[in-house]
Amino acid sequence: MTNSKKIFGVVANFFQNSSELFAKENLTYTMQGNIDSVVAAGALPLLIPIGIPADVNQYLSKIDALLLPGGQDVSPDLYGEAPSDLLGATSTKRDTFENALIQGAISRDIPILAICRGAQLVNVYFGGSLYQDESMIKRSVNIEHDQTKIPVQNDQPSHLVQLKDPTLIQMFESSEIQVNSLHHQAIKKLGKGLTITAKAKDGVIEGFNDSKHHIAAYQWHPEMMFRSDKAMLKIFTKFISDFLE
């Protein structure tokens, strides 16, 4: 009998559609890169639609790991700030549901891989805060963190990141790597118990982990980058070997 594959619960997003392409129906979806990267790493993706906190434990009982992907801005209500005019679209329902998933995963000792919005939400969950827009960051080095404004294709890098974690340095065989960047919010105050693993040269936190709770978080999008840079798949395969084998 072959060993069964580990199951990643991938939190889906909700899109209120106005396109004729889907007959103006609403969509529950995830970006294809979230699926492809999990499959390429040797695991199985299982979509978790945004729902109600009461259903979280039943969802978590079906999975071995949780993937929190990108999406809407995290509501500043969660870290005690008034919304800025620069704030993008938010989803209270998604924030509430994913926070319940984080809490449930931690209580069940289920590892969490968080990307972009996912990383920002985890940071806020642990008491951290965010810059509501990158223009609010005081920095001497200017880096555009939303590469759609440059523009650069999603799977191509747009800036350098300095790795602070020996494991990442060994994995990428370098203390500096190029990453893509598709966000306008950024981590301001780091959450309690979290350790920085990567930073951009303008000081923006690009990665952190929490070894106690088996959490690895990245601000960039390895699930997109691995289409052109296979080394980025190591983020998924190393996560599996560290926490799921």
CA-based angle 198:100:192, to the nearest 5? 40
pLDDT tens digits, residue range 155-184? 999 999 999 999 999 999 999 999 999 999
Gap between the Cα atoms of 225 and 157, Å rounded? 8
Summary count for the chain: helices (H), strands (E): 7, 13
Catalytic residue among 159, 184, 213, 221: 221
pLDDT tens digits, residue range 176-198? 999 999 999 999 999 999 999 99
The chain-wide mean pLDDT, for the chain, equals: 96
Residue range 79-91: mean pLDDT, rounded: 97
**Helix, strand, coil share of the chain (percent; to 5):** 35, 25, 40
Superfamily of domain 7-243: Class I glutamine amidotransferase (GATase) domain (3.40.50.880)
Q: How far is CA 50 from CA 28, 47, 54, 58, 185, in A?
A: 8, 10, 12, 13, 22
Place of tokens 């790795």: 163
Residue range 31-59: mean pLDDT, rounded: 98
Catalytic residue among 98, 134, 206, 223: 223
pLDDT tens digits, residue range 66-84? 999 999 999 999 999 999 9
Q: How far is CA 114 from CA 22, 35, 214, 220, 239, in A?
A: 29, 14, 11, 10, 11
Active site residue 214: no
pLDDT at position 19 is 75
Active site residue 223: yes
Report whether pLDDT(1) > 60: no
Gap between the Cα atoms of 144 and 166, Å rounded? 27
Place of tokens 């994913």: 98
Active site residue 184: no
Contact 115, 222 (CB under 8 A): yes
Q: How far is CA 11 from CA 23, 30, 127, 162, in A?
A: 24, 8, 22, 29
Question: Percentage of residues in the chain with pLDDT exceeding 70?
Answer: 99
Residue range 23-52: mean pLDDT, rounded: 96
- Residue 30's contacts (CB-CB under 8 Å, 6 or more residues apart) are 10, 11, 12, 13, 47, 69
Domain ranges of the chain: 7-243
Report whether pLDDT(3) > 90: no
Contact 193, 205 (CB under 8 A): no
Catalytic residue among 98, 116, 145, 213: 116
Of 58, 28, 63, nearest to 43 (Cα)?
Answer: 63
The DSSP 8-state label assigned to residue 37 in this structure reads: H
CA-based angle 9:12:18, to the nearest 5? 165
* pTM for the predicted model, two decimal places: 0.96
